[in-house]
């Protein structure tokens, strides 16, 4: 059995300054919550938050403040990818029995 799902989303940079990155991400809040949770696990992240101005018409936004917010965001996504890959392998092993 193979478990595969591809998530496609649009990302719009709203603000990109020295210590702050703010993105508009066309996805659901559950995925942004996951990214936000992993951002808080990174040592140099000062602030990580996500919001949606209106539940029906607004695209959610995520904001990161750190010494290098782009690097922090990429590290969080990389860690999520590693954890999901590990979970996938374990699920394939367990479900094969």
Sequence ranges of the domains in the chain: 11-96
- pLDDT digits 0-9 by tens, 4-33: 555 678 999 999 999 999 999 998 889 999
Find all residues with CB under 8 Å of 87, minimum gap 6, and list them.
Answer: none
Superfamily of domain 11-96, CATH level 4: RNA polymerase, RBP11-like subunit (3.30.1360.10)
- How far is Cα 44 from Cα 85, in angstroms, rounded to an integer? 25
The pTM for the full model equals: 0.84
Look at residue 1 in the predicted model and tell me its pLDDT. Answer: 47
Determine the Cα–Cα distance for residues 28 and 44; give it in Å rounded to an integer: 26
Cα(33)–Cα(93) distance, integer angstroms: 28
H helix runs in the chain, sequence order: 29-40, 69-96
What are the tens digits of pLDDT across the range 41-67? 999 999 999 999 888 888 999 999 999
Residue 36 has pLDDT above 60, yes or no: yes
């Amino acid at each position: 059995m193979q478990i595969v799902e591809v998530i496609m989303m649009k990302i719009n940079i709203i603000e990109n300054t020295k210590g702050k990155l703010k993105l508009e991400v066309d996805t659901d809040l559950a995925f942004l919550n996951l990214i936000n949770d992993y951002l808080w696990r990174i040592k140099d992240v000062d602030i990580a938050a996500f919001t949606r101005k209106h539940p029906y018409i607004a695209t959610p936004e995520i904001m990161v403040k750190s010494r290098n917010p782009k690097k922090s965001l990429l590290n969080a996504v990389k860690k999520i990818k590693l954890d999901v890959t590990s979970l996938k392998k374990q699920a394939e092993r367990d479900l094969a029995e």
